[in-house]
Amino acid sequence: MSGLTLATISHAFAGRRVLDTVSLVIRPGELVALVGPSGSGKSTLAAIAGGVLKPDRGRIMRRYARHGMVFQQARLLPWADARDNIGFPLQLAGMGAERIAARVQAAAEAVALRPDDLSKRPDALSGGMRARVAIARALVVEPDFLVFDEPFAALDPALRRRMQDLVLSLSGARGFGGLFITHDLFEAARLAHRIAVLDRQGRGITGSLTPPGAPGTRSEATIFGFVEKTRDDPLLRDLVNVDERALPLEGACDISGFRRCC
C-alpha cells in the first residue's frame, strides 16, 4: 500500500507563479486522476511528485518504495534502442545484464511491443511505440506508485484500452497508488478511485469527483453515465466548455475525447 502527500506546494517559473498552495493527498492504494485545463500546471505537479523538480515551497511525503514515472513526452535516449531505453533505470541501479534482459522482456510484453521493435532506436519507432517504450520503462522498475502524465495520449483506442487494463490490473493486484494525469474523463472514470480537478491557474485543487464503485468493477454504462452527469458539474466548467482561449469552431477540439488537440 502506497500513498503520497503533497502539502501546500507552490512553484514559480522565472517569477511566474504556476502552482499556488496546491495540496493533494493520495491515500494508500488510491489511484487519483488529475484533470485540469491545459497550462494549469498538471505536468509541473507531476514533476514535483516524481522528484524531478524541487518546489519553491511546500512539503512532499512519500509512502512508497519506488515510483515509476511517465512524462508527457516519451523522453527516450535517442542513441539507445528500445531495449536499452526500457532497461535504463535498471542499468542506473547497477543490475546485472541477465536480470535486466528478463525484466525488459516482461515489461515489453506487458505493453505489447514486438521483439523486433525492441532493437529499433527511438527515431525509427512510431509515436505510439515510443509512448509504450516509456510506459515499459516506468514499469520495469516494479514500482509501487505510478506518476503518469498523459501516458496514453498517443495511442489508438484499442491500445489505450489495453494500457488502461494494464494499469487497472497492476493497481488492483498489488494495491498501487498513483497520480494519473489525463484529459480524458472516460479514462479518468475507468481508472481512478477519485478525480481531482486542478484550478485553471494552479490555485489549488478545486475539488474531487468520485465515480461510483471501485475501478475495474465499473461497467461501461456506469462510466458513461458518470461522465455524462459530471459534464454539467461546475467543477469541470473550465475543462469541458469551450472558453475564450479556444480556437475558432472548425479547429476546436473535443477536450475530453480522443481527438483532443495537443
Interface residues toward ligand ATP, by CB under 6 A: 13-14, 18, 36, 38-44, 72
Mask 61-80, x = binds Mg ion (CB under 5 A)?
A: -----------x--------
Q: Which does 73 bind (CB under 5 to 8 A by kind): other proteins, Mg ion, ligand ATP, none?
A: other proteins
CB of 147 to other proteins, least distance (A): 8
* C-alpha to C-alpha distance for 76 and 78, rounded to whole angstroms: 6
Pick from 197, 226, 174, 204: which is nearest to 32 by CA? 197
- Could you say which residues in the range 50-69 bind other proteins, by CB under 8 A? 50-53, 66-67, 69
Q: How far apart are the first and last CA of the chain?
A: 34
Closest to other proteins by CB, 60 vs 253, is 60
Mask 35-64, x = binds Mg ion (CB under 5 A)?
A: --------x---------------------
List helix spans (H) across the chain.
Answer: 42-49, 82-92, 97-110, 127-139, 157-174, 185-191, 220-230, 237-240
Closest to ligand ATP by CB, 87 vs 202, is 202
141 lines the binding site for other proteins (CB under 8 A): yes
Count of Cβ atoms closer than 10 Å to residue 206 Cβ:
16
CB of 67 to other proteins, least distance (A): 8
Query: ∠ CA 113-116-118 to the nearest 5 degrees?
Result: 60
CB of 37 to ligand ATP, least distance (A): 7
**R_g of the chain computed on alpha carbons:** 18
CB of 71 to other proteins, least distance (A): 6
| 61-64, Cβ contacts within 8 angstroms, sequence gap of 24 or more | 61/4, 61/5, 61/7, 62/4, 62/145, 63/1, 63/2, 63/3, 63/4, 63/5, 63/28, 64/2, 64/3, 64/4, 64/143, 64/144, 64/145, 64/177
CB of 76 to other proteins, least distance (A): 8
CB of 116 to ligand ATP, least distance (A): 32
Q: Which does 13 bind (CB under 5 to 8 A by kind): ligand ATP, Mg ion, other proteins, none?
A: ligand ATP
Closest to other proteins by CB, 12 vs 124, is 124
Residues near Mg ion (CB under 5 A) are 43, 72
